[in-house]
Amino acid sequence: MVVLLVDGYNMIGAWEELQRLKDQDLGQARDLLINQLAEYQAFTGDRVIIVFDAYYVRGLEKKQKDHRVEVIYTKENETADECIEKLVKQVKNVKTKVYVATSDYAEQRTIFAQGALRKSARELYIETKNIEKEIEKEVTFHKHNQSSSRIPMNKEMRDLFEKWRRGNK
């Protein structure tokens, strides 16, 4: 199993489109990141956990599931880094490969020491964009190759029926 732990605000600060959106509406930037990583999760099948620290959201620790992505808002005075380090210890075992997505160098060194691997914000961004392109290709392929008829028939038969429908003999 592969687990991807994501430092949410680190990604928002590093991904240009999210950074611009954050300046207008932080909630929308968070939602867009969650949606993009939900597509990533659906495509890869990896377990994805996004951690937002209490710097922007005050209160008790809160966990929720959006799509099939786990979202954690840390408790007050707990950083995303601290939460991610705890999560690495919880999920890391011989059957689980853990990646931490962050561009925070100090955090990368810490998670390396715990046996996790890292993905920079840039690497994760490129992966999500490549996945989006792959999904678009697959959707286009299926749309193009899927007949609109519910009765299975080959192309020659569809063309013949289309000629009859249009009155061409």
Question: Is 156 part of any domain?
Answer: no
pLDDT tens digits along 44-85: 999 999 999 876 556 555 666 666 899 999 988 888 888 999
Q: Which helix H or strand E contains 155, and what residues bound it?
A: helix 155-166
CATH number for the domain that contains residue 137: 3.40.50
Residue-wise pLDDT for 83-138, tens only, equals 999 999 999 888 999 999 998 887 878 888 788 999 999 999 999 999 999 988 88
72 - beta bridge partners? 51, 63
Pairing of strands 69-73, 62-66: antiparallel
pLDDT tens digits, residue range 21-52? 998 999 899 999 999 999 999 999 999 999 99
Residue 102 per-residue DSSP state: -
- Looking at the domain assignment, is residue 151 inside a domain? no
80 falls within a domain: yes
Among residues 49, 67, 44, the alpha carbon closest in space to that of 131 is found at: 44
Q: Is residue 46 part of a domain?
A: yes
Measured CA to CA in angstroms, residue 162 lies from 17, 100, 142 at distances of 45, 54, 21
- Left (φ > 0), alpha (ψ -120 to 50) or beta: where does 74 sit? beta
Q: Which of 133, 131, 142, 134 is nearest to 46 (CA)?
A: 131
Establish if 160 belongs to a structural domain.
Answer: no
The whole-chain average pLDDT of the chain stands at 86
Q: How far, in whole angstroms, is CA 123 from its chain's centroid?
A: 13
- Note whether residue 164 is domain-resident: no
Considering only residues 58 and 162, tell me which one the structure prediction assigns the higher pLDDT.
Answer: 162
Domain that holds residue 74: 2-143
Q: How many domains does the chain have?
A: 1
In a domain, 27, yes or no: yes
Q: Is residue 22 part of a domain?
A: yes
- pLDDT confidence band for 165 (50 / 70 / 90): confident
DSSP bridge partners of 97 = 2
